[in-house]
Structures are given as C-alpha cells and as structure tokens.
Chain A
C-alpha cells in the first residue's frame, strides 16, 4: 500500500516520491496547504474506493495516518 499512497501524494504535490515517507507530516514536511489536502484525499478516495468524510481530515497529519485510515476502512492492498 505504501508505494501506491506514496505515488499519489507525490503526484498531487508535484514532488519526488522519495520525499514522501510514512512519517512525513503533510503540512510541516511536505509543505502541503489545506487545499492540497483536499486534492489528495479526493485522489485517495478514487484510488482505494473509500469515502473519507471532511470531518476526518483533521486527523490525517502524516502519510502513516492516511494508510492506517484506509486500512481501517477494510482496504488490504
């Protein structure tokens, strides 16, 4: 799953995939602003066929948070 998530985030933010690590914080480490987060979440929803309601966004601070969230929704890849 990490590779897929890494690829989506890198594409959305226009950065090198290597810069995206599980512990990367979106705001502090990847310089993503709130609009970037919306774009990223929409891309994740499409890629993993899950729904991420906007009220859950504030709990997703790191790449790992996103992976855990998606796994909790029953996605196993």
Chain B
C-alpha cells in the first residue's frame, strides 16, 4: 500500500486544502499549514508578480510545508512554472490540464508534484511522468470538474497506480475523511469547507451563500464547452444555462463568466457572480478556524473508525469482543 501523504509531504495530518482561484491566498493557506495540513496557494488566472508576492507572504507566515496550485490554462503558466522552481516550493499541484512537460524540471529540487486528475488513464500517465501522488477529484467538487464521482474514481485510481492517491470532491467532515481512507486514499483534499474558514478572505456574502446552500443547490455550467464548472445556482447560472441550451457561442458564454468568480469572491456579488462550491456545501453550517476544522476531522475520524470497525466486524460475522479475545 502506498504511504500516507502526511509522511510523503512531511506534514502532521493527511489533509490538503484545494488550490482555489481567488480564494486560496496566503492568508488561508498559511493557516492550513500552521494547523498541520497542507495549505496551497491557488494561482488561477493571476500573473507572475501576484504569485511571487503570495509566496513571499506565505514564507513569512509559516515555517511549515506548503504548496502552490498552477492552473495550466493560465496564460503565464510557463513563467510561473519557472518561478516555482526558483522559489523551491515544497509541493506543486496542477489543475485544468496536463502538466507533463513541467514535471521533470519541478522535481529537480525535490519538489513533490501532485497533479489533479479525473480519470484512470490520466492518473497512469502522470505516474509514468514522475508524479509523486495524484489528487483524484470527483465531480462533486466545486469549480472545474470531471465526470466520475469520488466514490467510483478513487478506488479505480488506487488500483491503477502505485503512488499515493488523495481523494477530493464531496469531503467536508470526519465521515468523508474516513470514507476516503476506506476507498484506499492516502489523504484528502478539501475545498468548500476551507472556503468558509475564518482565515479565508472571501467576501462574507460568499461564505454566507455557501453556508446557506442545501444539498441540491449546485449546478454545472459549461458542459457544452468542454470545461464544466460546478457553481451554486443563481441568476448568472440560470442565464448561462438558458444561453447554453439555446446554442450560444463560446464567446457569448465567456462574456457572461468573465470576471464572475472575482465578482463573487472579492465583491460579494452572489447574484451575478460565480459562487463556486461543491455538492457538500449543504453539510457545512458555520465558519471555523482551519485549526478547528482539521482537529474536528482528525478526532472525529479516530472515533468513527473505531466504532465502524466494530459495526463492520459484526456485519461480517465476527464480533469485536471475539477479535480482542483472539488477539
């Protein structure tokens, strides 16, 4: 069995924070790293200078390992990729594409490279290209998504590769964490839960919208464009889906979403903005600090795994007491 990611990444707990564009700034990421998880700066569509400043702040606010997520459709992806080498970033995760051409270069300084993948074939290719682990991200996630669910994707990827697999999509509490371990994951990545963390700088209106969200409040826009995105339903998504159904052009659709994430995260416009969140948003009821979130999950999982172990033993015909008597 592959090692757990806390060992691989030299962090206390096998929990990493998703590299969400606009949301995952040094404020959130340093809080996650200081709480024993792995905080990640989300590059999104930002430029090199922004990334450089974020890394400087990050290094000033934590002495723990941290990561940077490079969104591969970023127009300055090549320059940012070089910056990450110069800055000797401990962990690099990638999204929205194929990081194959960067992996060897990144690994020269001992950086751990962890692509986010959405299929078995992609996981295999990334392992072969030298990835240290993969994040298998189910369609339950917020933002850019693939087709397979976390429940189906994670065990299939675990069977297909030797490197550790980090489960993402639909995980926000101790139950999700424990379930991911049962599927064979070596750790979890969470996004939505950290969006509403106290240290996260997203607008209060955005956090409130996520906390109020119910189980079926998210919608997928852009299926027709080949870049599906999960967001909470609002006026923008209704308009988008209507236009998409009526065969609007890519340009028209892009016009609608241009700057929409910034509008929601920074300006707090949850009506016209793009309020990205995963399907698990309905489970999240309040704002906690990153430390509270991580310790709730770890202590909760410890209890759950013991309880469930006994229940499981009973279900398959052994009893817990038999087991301990035989031990």
Evaluate contact between A42 and B125: CB separation under 8 angstroms.
yes
A35 touches B (CB below 8 Å): yes
Evaluate contact between B125 and A34: CB separation under 8 angstroms.
no
Which chain A residues border B298 with CB–CB below 8 Å? none
Evaluate contact between B128 and A39: CB separation under 8 angstroms.
no
Evaluate contact between B122 and A55: CB separation under 8 angstroms.
no
Evaluate contact between A41 and B125: CB separation under 8 angstroms.
yes
Encode A1-34 as 1/0 by CB contact (under 8 A) with B.
Answer: 0000000000000000000000000010001011
Which chain B residues border A47 with CB–CB below 8 Å? none
B98 touches A (CB below 8 Å): yes
Evaluate contact between B121 and A57: CB separation under 8 angstroms.
no
Which chain B residues border A58 with CB–CB below 8 Å? 98, 101
A54 touches B (CB below 8 Å): yes
Partner of A55, one of B100, B121, B146, B226: B100
How many residues belonging to A are interface residues under a CB distance threshold of 8 Å? 16
Q: Is the interface of A mostly helix, strand, loop or mixed?
A: helix
Evaluate contact between A42 and B100: CB separation under 8 angstroms.
no
Closest to B102 in A: A55
B124 touches A (CB below 8 Å): yes
Encode B95-113 as 1/0 by CB contact (under 8 A) with A.
Answer: 0011111010000000000
A53 touches B (CB below 8 Å): yes
If A33-B226, A35-B146 touch, whether A57 touches B122 (CB-CB below 8 Å) is no
Q: How large is the interface on B (under 10, 10 to 19, 20 to 34, 35 or more residues)?
A: 10 to 19
Evaluate contact between A53 and B100: CB separation under 8 angstroms.
yes
Evaluate contact between A53 and B121: CB separation under 8 angstroms.
no
B2 touches A (CB below 8 Å): no
For the complex, give the distance between the alpha carbons of A33 and B98 in Å. 12
B136 to chain A, nearest CB (A): 13
A8 to chain B, nearest CB (A): 13
Partner of A54, one of B98, B146, B147: B98
Evaluate contact between B128 and A53: CB separation under 8 angstroms.
yes
Which residues of chain A (39-61) have a CB below 8 Å from chain B? 39, 41-42, 51, 53-58
A43 to chain B, nearest CB (A): 9
For the complex, give the distance between the alpha carbons of A53 and B147 in Å. 24
If A35-B146, A41-B125, A42-B124 touch, whether A57 touches B100 (CB-CB below 8 Å) is yes
Evaluate contact between A42 and B129: CB separation under 8 angstroms.
no
- With contacts A35-B146, A54-B100 known, what are 18 further pairs, Cβ within 8 A? A27-B226, A34-B122, A35-B121, A35-B147, A38-B119, A39-B119, A42-B121, A42-B125, A51-B128, A53-B128, A54-B101, A54-B125, A54-B128, A54-B129, A55-B101, A56-B100, A57-B98, A57-B100
The 4 closest A-B pairs by CB, nearest first: A54-B100, A55-B101, A55-B100, A38-B121
- Which residue numbers of B lie inside 8 Å of A, CB to CB? 97-101, 103, 118-119, 121-122, 124-126, 128-129, 146-147, 226
- Which residue numbers of A lie inside 8 Å of B, CB to CB? 27, 31, 33-35, 38-39, 41-42, 51, 53-58
